[in-house]
Structures are given as C-alpha cells and as structure tokens.
Amino acid sequence: MLLGAFGINSGSTFRPSDTLAIVRLAEELGYDSVWAGEHVVVPSPRAAPSPMEPEDPILDPLVHLGFVAAATERLLLATGIIILPQRNPLVLAKQAATLDVLSGGRLLLGIGAGYLEPEMTAIGVSMEDRGARTDDHLAAMRALWTQPGPVEHHGPYIDFAGVDAHPRPVTRGGPRIVVGGHSPAAFRRAVAHGHGWYGFALTPEIASACVAGLREAAEQVDRPAELGALELSVTPRRRLDAESLAAFADVGVHRLVLNTAGDPTPADVADRLRAAAALVS
C-alpha cells in the first residue's frame, strides 16, 4: 500500500516552516506523494456543502506544490483536486508543464468537475455544464502538451489554433491525470482519460461501491492502452488502523492519502504520518 498526505496546504501546516518540516518528514517516512486540494473562494457565511469555514486557510495547490518541489527529491506532487472547469485551460496547461519540468516529472494532476455552486458562480462558471467543460478543458490541455506545433483545439468551450507552448512537460504525453469524484460521470471520465482515480473521505464499504462503479464504467467507455492500469487512491473518512488498512487493500485501493487538514497542530500531523507509516511497514 502506498501512502500519501493530503491537506498540508491548509489546516495547521500551511505556513512555510511547518510545510517544510512535514513534507520532509513524509519523504523520510517513505510516503510517495503529497496532495493539495483547492477552493478559490468559499461561501461566507458557511453554507452546505462547503467543507470549510470562510476563515480557514488554504493555499493555491500549484503554488504550494512548487514550494514543496524545491524542498523534496522524491515525493510525487499531486493536486487533489484542481476544479478544472474554474480554470483557464491554457494557463493551467502552462502552469502544470512548468511544475512538471521544475520537479523532474513528479506532478500528478488531479482534476475534478467541482460541486460548490457559490464558488463556481463567483468565478463565473455554470454548474450545469461543468462536466462537459471539464472534458473540453482536459482535451485542450492535452493538445498543448502533445501536438506538434502549431497547436489547435476546437471544442464547445475552448477554441484556438496557430499557437504553441514550450517547454513541454517532462512526462511524455503530459502530467499523469488523476480524476476525482464519486459519480458515474466521474467514473467514466477516469476510465477514459485518467491514469488514476481519487476518492475522498471514503469508508472501505463506499470505496468498494466506487470500485464497482469504475468497473461498470469500463464496460461503457473505451480506455486507451497508453494509460495503463487505473491506479486507485483514496482518502479514508476515519483515522487509519490495521483493520481499515486491510479492508481498503482488499477492495483494490493502491494508495491511501491521509487527510491532515483537521489536525490542530503540526505536531499532531507528524504523529499521524508516523502512525500510518508504522502500520504499512
């Protein structure tokens, strides 16, 4: 079982010195990845389904992971997730390629369609077409990463031609894509376009249902051979113990990504990382 750590760009560890200490500890303990979530804005006052209070800190994931890249040598740098329809895909493609180059190919670009309507409305994105926009944005980014110049893409939301962008990502074909989400549409997107799938705040039972959903999606959409086997990453809903570790492994999960965002101090985060590493070893 691989281990990742989510939430270092928020909670009690977003400050520079705490981030450095925690990511270096994670690398020392054998974690393979750190995962940074995203909310550009959240409702104020808080309203469901927002996961955060308006005053809770959360850093931009790509800026945060660039800082982490310079302080580490091996850790994969994962966005868990970037809300893709809220982003300009050409700008994001450049940012992702930049981070991939500077980190030596360590970027895992986790993407999702989003779910928080007040955030999307504030940014100017329609909730209704977020799925179709996600697919179009991803196709536009892959065009910039893979087509010989001049590059063009003609989609329902993004349309361009006669441009190019270098340097290309170190990773051939562009950064590895991880698709987040628990809906049938997300499962189909993961099978058709993702190197991996990411489920957040799951029990082993819910993870099992998601794996079944992914299998069903694999019967509905084609998976390009170059993507390889779909890697499954899950953030457990509750603290990890030996029983839940075994249960997630039985379901077929490849990586458990611990949620550290709610731990009250950096010392608590460090203790959580050490405890999980001891379980896996």
Q: Which two tokens stand for residue 65?
A: 């992971």
Tens-digit pLDDT profile for residues 42-95? 999 999 999 999 999 999 999 999 999 999 999 999 999 999 999 999 999 999
Among residues 112, 83, 110, the alpha carbon closest in space to that of 99 is found at 110
CA distance 25 to 275: 12
Q: Helix 89-102 to helix 130-146 angle, to the nearest 10 degrees?
A: 50
Beta-carbon-side half-sphere exposure of residue 97 (alpha carbons within 13 Å): 21
Torsion angle of the four alpha carbons 110, 58, 274, 254, in this order, in degrees rounded to the nearest 10: -10
Beta-carbon-side half-sphere exposure of residue 205 (alpha carbons within 13 Å): 1
Tens-digit pLDDT profile for residues 131-143? 999 999 999 999 9
pLDDT of residue 65: 98
DSSP per-residue codes, 37-100 = ---S---SS--TT--S-TT--B--HHHHHHHHHHH-SS-EEEES-EEGGGS-HHHHHHHHHHHH
Residue 108: strand pairing partners: 78, 176
Ramachandran sector of residue 15 (left: φ over 0; alpha: ψ -120 to 50; beta: rest): beta
Q: Helix 16-29 to helix 61-71 angle, to the nearest 10 degrees?
A: 60
Alpha-helical regions (H) of the chain: 16-29, 61-71, 89-102, 117-123, 130-146, 184-193, 204-218, 242-251, 266-280
**pLDDT band for position 281 (cuts 50, 70, 90):** confident
Tens-digit pLDDT profile for residues 198-257? 999 999 999 999 999 999 999 999 999 999 999 999 999 999 999 999 999 999 999 999
The identity of residue 179, as a single letter, is V
